[in-house]
Amino acid sequence: MNILATAIRGFEEYSAYEAELLGCRAVETRQARVVLEGDYSCVYVLNNFARTVNKILLLLSRETVQNLDDIYNKALSIDYSFIKPDQSFAVRSERSGIHEFTSLDIARVVGQAIIDSYQRSTGKILKVNLDEPDVEIEADLIGNELFISINTTGNGLNFREYRIYNHPSSLKPTLASSLIIMSQWEGSSFIDPFTGGATIPIEAALYAKSSLVKPSGKFLYKKLSFYDDKAEEEALKKIGKKFDLKDKIVGVEISRKHFTGALKNVSAANLGESIDIILGDSIKIDFQRKFKFLVSNPPYGIRSGRKEKVLKIYELFVKRMDKILEDKARGVMITTEYKKLTELLGERGYKVLKVNTGLHGKLWVGAVLFSV
């Protein structure tokens, strides 16, 4: 069975790696997508434990198309018997590339094809519910490649239930988890010197513990015909914690407002025993210890128009990192100014191991992996 996991563009390899850790075979990475092979247990496990992906989709069809007529015909040929006659459905669509039609056009055409196909095979007309459908079909067009799939997740996994305080420049939790995997952290001392709302420390602790991504357990797969609660329970039991924390994870925030918000998020995630949030300036504070891993999302200066000031912060922080990081430590920092950051790291003798570039919202960013 083919499964499609939607991922952060430019960071798909970390979603593929995580899926493999969870027992599902990654066969291909595409733009913001990872194609996997697995059974229904993979659907249960990925939805509950994969921290780097947004949605888990069951792939129904993958075809090359040229126009809306092609899209209609491809969608019409699919067997939709998995939808029960009393269930409602909706079609969501995303589009990437240059086309003479919109995502709404794709959703409309695929929706009509589903109604027509179901009526031909069963004699019944399916109900459409755009707000709270029982079954959600994704029809995504990447260039001229059409992916039609079943959304087993519902609202994206990037919406974390612990996040009760939203920092104005917060990092997507899925991207934060990708950076943690990129760093190859294994439970050693860990610091986020620009922690904001504490997304990175929280994601790190939850990743180590293999905590549920969505504790409420509200997933669309529970409405699908294949769902078996006992099989789900057995699949989830097999996932144990990844490693023990050797020390508390540390986050530092200079703003009292964001520091307070970070504490609220840590408390909501029940991680007070695993994370220390410090109010202070990472450029000046004396930690009286050193760390083996650093993962951070420093300020970009775009919203405030303080780009020059932010670059000065980068310069001062990089100069001071030798007082923060152990020998052979590793770090990942993500920023729109990744080229300048790479230059500063090189000037101070740090070895840049890799740079991943991709999209964070509408911003083109680079994650720089480096070692001491």
Instruction: Quote the percentage of the chain above a pLDDT of 70.
Output: 99
Query: How does pLDDT run across 114-135, given as a tens digit for each residue?
Result: 999 999 999 999 999 999 999 9
Q: How far is CA 339 from CA 90, 191, 333, 335, 364, in A?
A: 43, 23, 12, 9, 12
Structure tokens at 262: 């970070």
The reported pLDDT for the residue numbered 343 is 97
The reported pLDDT for the residue numbered 306 is 76
* 97 vs 353: CA distance, rounded Å: 32
The reported pLDDT for the residue numbered 305 is 52
The reported pLDDT for the residue numbered 307 is 80
Mean pLDDT, the chain, rounded, equals 96
Long-range Cβ pairs for the range 324-327 (8 Å, 24+): 324/191, 324/193, 324/282, 324/287, 324/290, 324/291, 324/294, 325/290, 325/291, 325/292, 325/294, 325/372, 326/189, 326/290, 326/291, 326/292, 326/372, 327/372
Q: Go through the domains of the chain in sequence order and give each one's CATH number.
A: 2-151 (3.30.2130.30), 173-214+241-371 (3.40.50.150)
- Single-letter amino acid code for the residue at 11: F
Tell which phi-psi region holds residue 361, choosing left (phi > 0), alpha (psi between -120 and 50) or beta: left
- pTM of the model as a whole: 0.95
Task: Give the model's confidence band at 302: pLDDT under 50 very low, under 70 low, under 90 confident, else very high.
Answer: low
Query: Using an 8 Å Cβ cutoff, are 164 and 223 in contact?
Result: no
The reported pLDDT for the residue numbered 9 is 95
The reported pLDDT for the residue numbered 301 is 73
Neighbouring-strand partners of residue 139: 93, 148
What is the arithmetic mean of pLDDT over 344-354? 97
